[in-house]
Amino acid sequence: MEVIEKLSILADAAKYDASCASSGTQLRDSKGSSSIGSTTGMGICHSYAPDGRCISLLKILLTNLCIYDCVYCVNRHSSNVHRARFTTKEVVDLTISFYKRNYIEGLFLSSGIIQNPNYTMEQLVTVAKSLREDHGFRGYIHLKTIPDADESLIHQAGIYADRLSINIELPSTESLISLAPEKNVKSIRSSMGTLKSHIEESKEEQSSKKVSRITYVKKESKKALTKNAVRKTKRSEKLFAPAGQSTQMIVGADSSNDFKILTTSHQLYKSFGMRRVYYSAFSPIPDASKQLPLTEPPLLREHRIYQADWLMRFYGFQVSELVNTQTQPMLDLDIDPKLNWALRNRDIFPIDINRADREILLRVPGLGPRNVQRILQSRAFHRLSLEDLKRMRLSLKKIKPFISTADYHPASSLIDHENLKAKLVDPKQHQLTLF
């Protein structure tokens, strides 16, 4: 099979993984070397597909023939799709040639399980190792980690990769048992724990300067390096998976509600120091199983969950403030979770823009961390008016009901709930699922 045909099958099979991030890793570049590659703080999206998703990495599977049979997955053993398998060299060559043309930031390599977890992990590590050692590649590498694989293999993966991830896929243990029979919750969690401790240890070691000297020097050129260059490479010691670990949960494949999903995420962030939990609306796949809902992917629900996740991580919200088992197990699809919270807690508004603390300002619908920072910064100079807020490009329509400023003091009782909600709901929002 030609590489181009394999690529079409193995990219298609990889697209259900939402992550394409290339951010938050150690900064490095190829200065002074004969190789290529660098990383940036924010990552770069080199293209966008018509699904609005960023294309930052070459995201492919090594093979889509998996010996497991996870019901929701297009690559499951019992799926009747075309199968293909890359050689490790083909993946390495594709990555390098795409990178040289500035198409990508690096590679995100995953795979169906081949033979057994160890063999699969070995293959993934071989690719990353070859990129780093044979090509001196300094771009971004994200490797999928196979739970149940030996710790020594996971350790190697972390040496070469920037990020490692294990997808939890389903929010509840029961769903995992019924939909992913070969997977094992305990083993997934224990692998996540292993990653966490490796990541933390490596950071600690580096801060105490005892880190093992890991460098990406092309093997054959090692001898030729001058003393100076050696010192240089030593400074760029690589941490174990410096961009941390991430995971993904499928939304809408099982009956878990948003409360369950957000509670699970909260635990994942807390217990394993996840950098990100990705959510992927369960989407129709070629040759789907009878067991699953074959409908439009719940994109709006996915969007609301991302918003809630964001509020938990950057705005100081607790899960229980956004959803709860009894009265509100699902997020409101009409309005974003922060506005929903504000409407349920009207008595704290209006908030005085010129006096409120950071935590309180973050509760104002329409104000994000960056704008709050700017408000705090500029109110040190003078009391802020609506005009000042407008100059900061804030949407007055959104925030006005919730604030007071030097020149604006709304009646303390807000307009009644439904009315305000109706006013603030974007009429176009419902079309989100129709795009």
Partner 1 sequence: MTNACFIQLDEYATYEDWYPYARYCLHHHIVPSDVHWQNDNIDDLFCNDSNSQQLTIEQAQNFKPGNSNQIRVNRNFVILARYSCCFLHPDRFAVMYRILWRVVHEDNLLLADITDPDIHLANRWAKAVGRDRHKMKAFVRFKEIKFANEDPHYVAWFEPEHAIVKLTSDFFRDRFYGMDWSILTPYLCVHWVKGTLTFTQGCDKSQAPQEDALEDLWRTYYLNIFNPARLKVKAMCAEMPKKYWHNLPESSLIDPLIKQAERAKQAMIEKKPTDPLLPSKTKFDREKWINSK
Binding site for ligand SF4 (CB under 6 A): 66, 68, 70, 73, 75-76, 112-113, 180
**How would DSSP label each residue in 376-426?**
HHHTTTS---HHHHHHTT--HHHHGGGEEBTTB---SSPPPHHHHHHHHS-
For the bound state, the minimum distance from the C-beta of residue 69 to ligand SF4, rounded and expressed in Å, comes to: 6
Q: Are 77 and 126 in contact (CB under 8 A)?
A: no
**How would DSSP label each residue in 4-36?**
HHHHHHHHHTTTT-------SS-----TTSSS-
407 backbone dihedrals φ, ψ, rounded to 5°: -115, 10
Identified binder of partner 1 from the candidate list 25, 79, 110, 156, rule CB under 8 A:
79
Q: How far apart are the first and last CA of the chain?
A: 36
Rounded Cα distance between 170 and 147, Å, is 15
- For residues 285 to 324, the per-residue mask of contacts with partner 1, x marking binding by CB under 8 A and - elsewhere, is xxxxxx---xxxx-x-------------------------
Decide which of partner 1, ligand SF4, none touches 164; Cβ closer than 5 to 8 Å per partner kind.
none
Residue 249 forms beta bridges with which residues? Answer: 169, 279
Which is closer to ligand SF4, CB of 25 or CB of 123? 123
Which is closer to ligand SF4, CB of 35 or CB of 145? 145
Subset of 369-408 contacting partner 1 (CB under 8 A): 374, 377-378, 380-382, 384, 388, 391-392
Q: Which stretch binds partner 1 (CB under 8 A): 100-108, 234-242, 245-253, 407-415?
A: 100-108
Of the candidates 304, 302, 296, 385, which has an alpha carbon nearest to the alpha carbon of residue 340? Answer: 304
Which amino acid, residue 90? E
Subset of 115-174 contacting partner 1 (CB under 8 A): 116-118, 136, 148, 150
Coil/strand/helix, residue 112? coil
Subset of 238-277 contacting partner 1 (CB under 8 A): none
Which is closer to partner 1, CB of 348 or CB of 376? 376
Identified binder of partner 1 from the candidate list 26, 97, 197, 419, rule CB under 8 A:
97
For the bound state, the minimum distance from the C-beta of residue 412 to partner 1, rounded and expressed in Å, comes to: 27
For the bound state, the minimum distance from the C-beta of residue 110 to ligand SF4, rounded and expressed in Å, comes to: 8
Q: Quick one: angle between helices 185-207 and 258-272, nearest 10? A: 40
**178 near partner 1, rule: CB under 8 A:** no
